[in-house]
Structure 1
Amino acid sequence: DGRLLVSGGADGDVRIWDLESGDSRALEGHGAWVSRVAIHADGRWVASADDDGGVRIWDLEGGDARALLGHVGGVESLAFSPDGMSLATAGQDGTVRLWDVRMGEGRALEGHGVGVKAVAFAPDGRLVSGGLDGTLRIWQDPLPRSVAGLKNWLEEATNAVVGADNQVLFPTGD
């Protein structure tokens, strides 16, 4: 609703800013630089990732924090699903991980083979990832399907945006 801003920093804290009052509060628990943050559209959940592979989900209403264990190495991207029930993370370890926000359980989606740089959800709930292997993948059921023609087009797929029509994918590279 535009009231909150979330930031992460070298001190290992996640900071929640109230844009109306200017006040902030720290969420502590990471042991390394917090390099990625995401806030769910309803403002209840915040996800954060650090450079050592640590991922946390914070319940801003209930005050609970859950550590999500699984990545080896840094996390490059994270995104909430449109329904808010899942969190996707992209790891330097070559995996995409899909987490249940409430239970904290996750599963690895393998297919890139090398570092994954980006994850994004389409409005219809499909998950898209881009990796250092130059592929953009769509994950369904949870089988990966490479998008035709993009393997040789990009050296690295470092970002992904899904159009509101669920059909258009815009990969970008460095």
Structure 2
Amino acid sequence: MSRRIKEPSTIAVAQPGQIVLLDFQKEEITSEFSLPTKESTTAVDFSPDLESVVIGCENGSVYELDLASGEVRMYSSVGKGQVRKLDFLEDNTLVTAHHDEDVCVWDDGEITRTHGPYTSWVSSLCCYKQMVAFGLFNRHRGYQVFYGDIRQSLHKLYGNNSNSKGVAFIEEGRTLVTIGSDQQLKIWDLELGESRFTISDSEIFCAMAVLHDERLIAAGTREGSVILYRSDLP
């Protein structure tokens, strides 16, 4: 089951064969939709215009649910592996990361550009305007983060010996926040292509979110705690 928040209080919950919209403030189901597949869902997100929900499946299939009409459209997966992550550029263009180590850009249900294959599958993904950033699951080679304009060649950042667990753009795309399973949070200056500073912690990170004002970064840990960090440290 995957979920993502829609403003102001709606969550999309994807299950095999079904999408459910939940109002978590009222604690009630607001809508239910059927999907033409029983495949396990591995990624789900609202489109930026909030008019549809896109679902990625274990077999590589991608579906788009129109929330107004309830119609479901299947994208052409062209043999791609499991959808690991998905996100959107500012013009509603879909970006997906697959278990076969490719990152794909879609237009009108078809893949128009592919980055990869990489040395491992993508374990974190984030889009901002026309930029994309993603990190790899690279346990023994040090985590690698790729970033840049999705329409061009991407740049690479090297972290420490760990898996990438989260990436996020801040400061209008000039800065990137990354976390890895090596217990480190890094703030990167993308104009210089180097780390601005590193925060080390005693707990192992497994998830990350940047709050709306970008002043605080929330990091979830394997132990079940959530730690808040300031993003404006020197």
- RMSD over aligned Cα atoms: 2.2
Is the Cα–Cα contact under 8 Å of residues 95 and 111 in structure 1 kept in the other structure? yes
* AA in 2 matched with 1:146: K
Deviation at 1:14, TM superposition (A): 2.0
Distance between the aligned counterparts of 1:120 and 1:132, measured in 2? 15
* AA in 1 matched with 2:82: G
Residue number in structure 1 paired with 2:155: 145
Is the Cα–Cα contact under 8 Å of residues 109 and 142 in structure 1 kept in the other structure? no
Q: Which runs of 4+ in 1 moved over 4 A?
A: 18-21
Residue number in structure 1 paired with 2:22: 17
Residue number in structure 2 paired with 1:161: 168
Deviation at 1:24, TM superposition (A): 2.4
Is the Cα–Cα contact under 8 Å of residues 16 and 24 in structure 1 kept in the other structure? yes
Q: Does 1:8 align with 2:2?
A: no
Deviation at 1:139, TM superposition (A): 3.8
Question: Could you tell me which of 56, 64, 76 is aligned with 1:57?
Answer: 64
Distance between the aligned counterparts of 1:33 and 1:49, measured in 2? 9
Higher relative contact order (CA 8 A, sep 6+): 1
Residues 173/71 of structure 1: CA separation in 2 closer, same or farther (3 Å cut): farther
Please, what TM-score do these two structures have when normalized by structure 2? 0.63
* AA in 2 matched with 1:7: V
> Which structure has the larger Rg over C-alpha atoms?
2
Task: Provide the secondary structure at the position in 2 that maps to 1:158.
Answer: strand
Q: Which runs of 5 or more residues in structure 2 are unaligned?
A: 1-6, 182-234
Residues 18/71 of structure 1: CA separation in 2 closer, same or farther (3 Å cut): farther
Deviation at 1:121, TM superposition (A): 0.8
Residues 164/42 of structure 1: CA separation in 2 closer, same or farther (3 Å cut): farther
Residue number in structure 2 paired with 1:120: 126
Report sequence identity in percent. 19
Residues 154/164 of structure 1: CA separation in 2 closer, same or farther (3 Å cut): farther
Residue number in structure 1 paired with 2:115: 109
Task: Provide the secondary structure at the position in 1 that maps to 2:154.
Answer: strand
Residues 64/109 of structure 1: CA separation in 2 closer, same or farther (3 Å cut): farther
Deviation at 1:153, TM superposition (A): 1.9
